[in-house]
Structure 1
Amino acid sequence: MNKIIAIQGAEGSNHHKVARDFYGKTIKLKECMSFDILVDSLLDKSADLGVMALENTIAGSIIPNYALIDKYNLHIIDEEYLNIHHHLMALKGQNINDIKEVWSHPMALLQCKEFFKNHPHIKLVEDVDTAEVAKRIAKENLRSIAAIAPKIAADIFGLQVLEDDIQTIKDNSTRFVIVQTTEPKNGVYQINKASLKFQLDHKRGSLATILNVLSDCKMNLTKIQSLPVIETPWKYSFFVDITFDDYKDYQKAESIIKIMAQEFKILGTYKNGRK
């Protein structure tokens, strides 16, 4: 039986593309218009797995998602780094001169701002989701309206791509993770990355000591993110991602940090998604 995959956003979104990359085109999809709803669908078991964006090369970390994974004890089981491409699409039989308005998510509009300076006749309208707009254009047969969305949306909804890669910054990628409520049973030989969370006392050298342990154990620190501990002023949780070549080195680092840090938690051990 196919697993039900919860995604943030609509069918045809980048979250949907990541789900298809991992689990194929025949997946059962659960669309969630927020990450909170996505997590709820995992907790109430209406979905088996969730796809969550965690960071972007332009926008940075999506900090609330780190907090959601931690608060609800989700487990990261895999990841993908996806290059983000914005395409202008509309009903077939039109060209860009026929388009009067473009509806899309505010971030997509912002990332394509330079392109539209050359098309001042087009009004930019903020909307809730890139792929959902593409779906609405197809369903309601909306002419003179275009969407900014991934190419997967044009394929699914039968729209025509008017312009490819209209984003200003071409090298734009997002890191997505696959999460579930149960601890995965990844084989040791599949694992070369870990996501950890811990707290430290607010005193000189406490973080440096942990970083030295990671270095001494041959860990490569690829990400560090701090979040304040609610209702405990000047205390922080640290979220770190590390990669490694030898799982035994990771086990050594884990055992030491467990002793040195507080509220230590393994958010996931999985295969590094960077090629």
Structure 2
Amino acid sequence: MTEPHYSLDDIRENVTHIDNEILKLLAERRQLSLAVAKSKIQTAKPVRDQEREHALLLRLIERGKEEQLDAQYVTQIFHTIIEDSVLYQQAYLQKLTNPDSLQPTARVSFLGAKGSYSHLASRHYFSKKQTKLVELSCNTFRDVLHVVENGHADYGVLPIENTSSGSINEVYDLLQHTSLSIVGEITESIEHCLLTAVDTQLEQIDTLYSHPQPHQQCSEFLHALGGIKQEYCSSTAEAMQKVAELKQPNVAAIGNATSGELYGLTALKGNIANQQENYTRFIVVARKPVNVTPLIPAKTTLIMSTAQQAGSLVECLLVLRNHHINMTKLESRPVIGNPWEEMFYVDVEENLKSELMQSALEELTQLTRFIKVLGCYPSENVKPTDVEI
């Protein structure tokens, strides 16, 4: 018996039908995760149950084998689905905890024009909150904060650290002097490409436009090019605009390939960052702090100035250790106007309102010359549950 012959159009139609069914099932699954979140309010259970996630992934891997599906393929798909489920539940619970913040539309400030990395992070962050945006592009990090401080924007989105180039010092320095609170975070994958406006060859490029951070993050690639002229712009979006206007075979910009398409640019070469896995963590700031429900993982960020004597910082860090509070970031920055004095920025994985954190803050207040909480906010970094493949 011969197998029926299908035309390419028939096959594509079947694929489209299956894709539509997958989307419908994903939407149904997301709604069920919302029902799970509602039930957890009654039982006061945390959103994440990694033991159950582990058992779920193992079962799915075995079920996938029966369907001739590779274990890594199954795991990769369901890590993404689980992450979406966790963040969707977190967003729902946070809305219940902060009813005053319920807004169908939000005004958001960020560095650069449309297509900048800060712009992409803004859209990604608020899409998870199902919030429509009024987008306000700014020329400097200071302007991003200023428009929120004066009420022209509800939120500001700022890059704070990168896995390749490290901390973004200008942003840390500005946080010393703002009255705003950190209310959220998001980590974005940064995919740097060499973007051009006309067909050209890599050997012809002698001038490169971008923000200083991408220049730094792609320093090894730029060094290999040799003798390249680096032109600094206020954002990657401005760099792309500049190259689009010049339309010359010897100039290029560093930026995201998808963003480059907005300006008519194409990627001459991709993956040019020093590290293949290049991520930037962004923070979201607002005029009012948020309350974080104890059902979801939280971070607290604070700044402190210690006494100028041996062991002062160690004493402060021991307070966190003794309270079993995990520190995820420690950054020092000079205090402007006070030579050789440092201000320390600390990120910890703990809810500000927990007994542990309150007890630790009481002790830290006694040990420091100055201490201020910059914000407590939901942790958006959903670490995948490990399974042996």
Question: Do the two structures share a fold, i.e. TM-score over 0.5?
Answer: yes
In the alignment, residue 208 of structure 2 is paired with which amino acid? W
Deviation at 1:13, TM superposition (A): 1.2
Moved more, 246-255 or 18-27: 246-255
Deviation track 1:87-114 (CA, whole Å, cap 9, x = no partner) reads 122347x253696555322443454455
**Secondary structure at the counterpart of residue 262 of structure 1:** strand
- 8 Å contact from structure 2 (residues 106, 132) kept in 1: no
Answering whether residue 371 of structure 2 is matched by residue 264 of structure 1, we say yes
Deviation at 1:172, TM superposition (A): 2.7
Runs of at least 5 residues in structure 1 that lack an aligned partner in the other structure: none
**Secondary structure at the counterpart of residue 190 of structure 1:** coil
**What is the CA–CA distance in structure 2 between the aligned matches of 1:191 and 1:115, rounded to whole Å?**
38
**What is the CA–CA distance in structure 1 between the aligned matches of 2:303 and 2:276, rounded to whole Å?**
32
Moved more, 171-180 or 240-249: 240-249
Moved more, 54-63 or 211-220: 54-63
Instruction: Determine the structure 2 residue equivalent to 1:12.
Output: 115
In the alignment, residue 356 of structure 2 is paired with which amino acid? D
Deviation track 1:1-38 (CA, whole Å, cap 9, x = no partner) reads 52121112222111111101111395222111211121
**Secondary structure at the counterpart of residue 208 of structure 2:** strand
Deviation track 1:124-169 (CA, whole Å, cap 9, x = no partner) reads 441313222223444x472524322113312433432232212233
**What is the CA–CA distance in structure 2 between the aligned matches of 1:225 and 1:21, rounded to whole Å?**
26
Q: 2:182 aligns with which of 76, 80, 84?
A: 76
- 8 Å contact from structure 1 (residues 102, 146) kept in 2: yes
In the alignment, residue 103 of structure 1 is paired with which amino acid? L
In the alignment, residue 104 of structure 1 is paired with which amino acid? Y
Moved more, 163-172 or 229-238: 229-238
Higher strand share: 1
Answering whether residue 274 of structure 2 is matched by residue 171 of structure 1, we say no
Q: 1:199 aligns with which of 299, 305, 318?
A: 305
Instruction: Determine the structure 1 residue equivalent to 2:106.
Output: 3
**Secondary structure at the counterpart of residue 114 of structure 2:** coil
**Secondary structure at the counterpart of residue 27 of structure 1:** strand
How large is the Cα RMSD of the aligned pairs? 2.9
Displaced runs of 4 or more, over 6 A: 117-120
State how 1:12-51 maps to structure 2 within 5 Å: 12-24=115-127, 27-51=133-157
State how 1:208-247 maps to structure 2 within 5 Å: 208-244=314-350, 247=354
Deviation at 1:195, TM superposition (A): 0.5
**Secondary structure at the counterpart of residue 51 of structure 1:** strand
In the alignment, residue 269 of structure 2 is paired with which amino acid? E
**What is the CA–CA distance in structure 2 between the aligned matches of 1:211 and 1:113, rounded to whole Å?**
34
**What is the CA–CA distance in structure 2 between the aligned matches of 1:233 and 1:102, rounded to whole Å?**
38
- 8 Å contact from structure 1 (residues 135, 153) kept in 2: no
Deviation at 1:49, TM superposition (A): 0.9
Runs of at least 5 residues in structure 2 that lack an aligned partner in the other structure: 1-103, 384-389
Larger Rg: 2
Cα 1:143/1:64, change in 2 over 3 Å: closer
- 8 Å contact from structure 2 (residues 110, 136) kept in 1: yes
**What is the CA–CA distance in structure 2 between the aligned matches of 1:165 and 1:147, rounded to whole Å?**
14
Which gives a bigger RCO, structure 1 or 2 (Cα 8 Å, sep 6+)?
1
Instruction: Determine the structure 2 residue equivalent to 1:252.
Output: 359
**What is the CA–CA distance in structure 2 between the aligned matches of 1:66 and 1:168, rounded to whole Å?**
23
- 8 Å contact from structure 2 (residues 193, 257) kept in 1: yes
Cα 1:185/1:152, change in 2 over 3 Å: farther
Cα 1:263/1:17, change in 2 over 3 Å: same
Task: Give the TM-score normalised by structure 2.
Answer: 0.62
Instruction: Determine the structure 2 residue equivalent to 1:104.
Output: 209
Answering whether residue 286 of structure 2 is matched by residue 180 of structure 1, we say yes
In the alignment, residue 239 of structure 1 is paired with which amino acid? Y
- 8 Å contact from structure 2 (residues 202, 268) kept in 1: no
- 8 Å contact from structure 1 (residues 10, 16) kept in 2: yes
Cα 1:174/1:97, change in 2 over 3 Å: closer
**What is the CA–CA distance in structure 1 between the aligned matches of 2:309 and 2:221, rounded to whole Å?**
49
**Secondary structure at the counterpart of residue 77 of structure 1:** strand
Q: 1:127 aligns with which of 201, 217, 232?
A: 232
